């Protein structure tokens, strides 16, 4: 198994290396790939030192799988070149997610759709992944009509520059700004760029991607995405209206029994999901489960997950594991 990691020097790339080692991913040869300015840089993996190579050299090496986390423009240019030589690309950018002929995969929900012909596979948005992990089992039983989600997203979702901005501000140091305003002691209702309809690109990803993953456009989602000064872990306040009524006990039982979900829902002991619990874990944490008393068949809940792990690196690696296990590469 020859695996290429494109974007190996970035924030998600570093987490991918960590997750590959933790899960003992079956790799015989690991190619670490980055932009020209990083070529030659040495990175340690499982006690070995590996030199970073260029995209051109990585394509020539003809890997079995390429994990991409290098931005949309890089994915648009290079993913087809890898696919042409027979490599299966799992792409973490938004470049291919809504393309009709590309599959958008959360392994616990829809990995069964994958075939050997899928040479470019899209990894969903980090906020989408944790949302659909909790919604999928509930939708199957109660059928969603409408979802209202507000996100509270970590600066790590923007990248290293944003993390550095927050750290500088906390230390009272003036430095490069990733955001148009300070993030320390602040909340920015502005994740990604604004679109013509007044929503941000992040909000529209949350509206569209779940419909594709669940292969159902009969429900609607509206979102507000907010950046908050946490270092890791995205949180979501979710209000979901179903066609059918439910019992709260059944909701809790269903979520508790869903692989990849951890239920943290006991107000008596102040037990509820928080980014500090989710940090460096692969699970999606769900709590604050309660009825919306203003509307029938409607549920409120709070969802938290590590955006760099299940929201990015781990989900991509789980896709790769599924491909290997089912002999699709």
Active-site residues, by number, are 126, 234
Handedness of CA 280, 75, 325, 211 (dihedral sign): positive
Tokens describing residue 245: 């009524």
Tokens describing residue 248: 């709260």
11 is in an annotated binding site: yes
The count of other CB atoms within 10 Å of the CB of residue 65 is: 24
| C-alpha to C-alpha distances, 111 to 151, 194, 269, 285, nearest whole angstrom | 26, 32, 37, 21
Q: In what order do the strands lie in the sheet with 144-153?
A: 220-227, 144-153, 234-242, 298-305, 284-291, 261-263
172 is in an annotated binding site: no
198 is in an annotated binding site: no
291 is in an annotated binding site: no
C-alpha to C-alpha distance for 21 and 43, rounded to whole angstroms? 13
301 is in an annotated binding site: no
288 is in an annotated binding site: no
297 is in an annotated binding site: no
9 is in an annotated binding site: yes
Q: Which residues of 31-60 are buried (b: 16+ CB within 10 A; e: fewer)?
A: bbbbbeebeeeebebeeeebebbebeebbe
153 is in an annotated binding site: yes
276 is in an annotated binding site: no
C-alpha to C-alpha distance for 113 and 133, rounded to whole angstroms? 17
**Pick from 86, 119, 74, 87: nearest CA to 101:** 119
Binding-site residues from annotation: 9-12, 37-38, 97, 153, 156-157, 227, 307
Binding-site residues from annotation for NADP(+): 9-12, 37-38, 156-157, 307
Binding-site residues from annotation for substrate: 153, 227
Binding-site residues from annotation for phosphate: 97
């Amino acid at each position: 198994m020859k695996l290429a990691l494109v974007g190996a020097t970035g924030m998600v790339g570093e987490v991918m290396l960590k997750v590959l080692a933790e899960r003992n991913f079956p790799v015989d040869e690991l190619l670490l790939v980055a932009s020209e300015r990083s070529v030659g840089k040495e990175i340690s993996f499982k006690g070995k030192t590996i030199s970073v190579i260029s995209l051109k050299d990585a394509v020539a090496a003809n890997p079995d799988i390429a994990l991409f986390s290098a931005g949309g423009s890089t994915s648009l240019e290079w993913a087809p070149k890898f696919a042409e030589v027979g490599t299966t690309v799992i792409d973490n950018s938004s470049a291919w997610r809504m393309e009709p002929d590309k599959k958008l995969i959360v392994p616990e929900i829809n990995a069964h759709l994958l075939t050997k012909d899928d040479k470019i596979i899209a990894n969903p948005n980090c906020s989408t992944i944790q949302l659909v992990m909790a919604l999928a089992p509930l939708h199957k039983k109660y059928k969603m009509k409408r979802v209202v989600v507000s996100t509270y997203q970590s600066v790590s979702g923007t990248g290293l520059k944003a993390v550095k901005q927050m750290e500088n501000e906390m230390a009272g140091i003036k430095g490069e700004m990733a955001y148009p305003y300070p993030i320390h002691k602040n909340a920015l209702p502005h994740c990604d760029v604004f679109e013509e309809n007044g929503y941000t690109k992040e909000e529209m990803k949350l509206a569209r991607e779940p419909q594709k993953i669940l292969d159902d456009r009969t429900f609607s989602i509206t979102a507000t995405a907010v950046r908050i000064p946490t270092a890791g872990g995205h949180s979501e306040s979710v209000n979901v209206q179903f066609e059918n009524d439910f019992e709260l006990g059944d909701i809790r039982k269903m979520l508790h029994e869903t692989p990849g979900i951890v239920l943290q829902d006991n107000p008596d002991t102040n037990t509820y999901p928080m980014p500090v619990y989710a940090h460096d874990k692969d699970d999606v944490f769900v709590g604050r489960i309660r009825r919306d008393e203003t509307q029938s068949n409607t549920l409120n809940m709070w969802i938290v997950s590590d955006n760099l792990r299940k929201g990015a690196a781990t989900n991509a690696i789980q896709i790769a594991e599924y491909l290997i296990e089912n002999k699709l590469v």
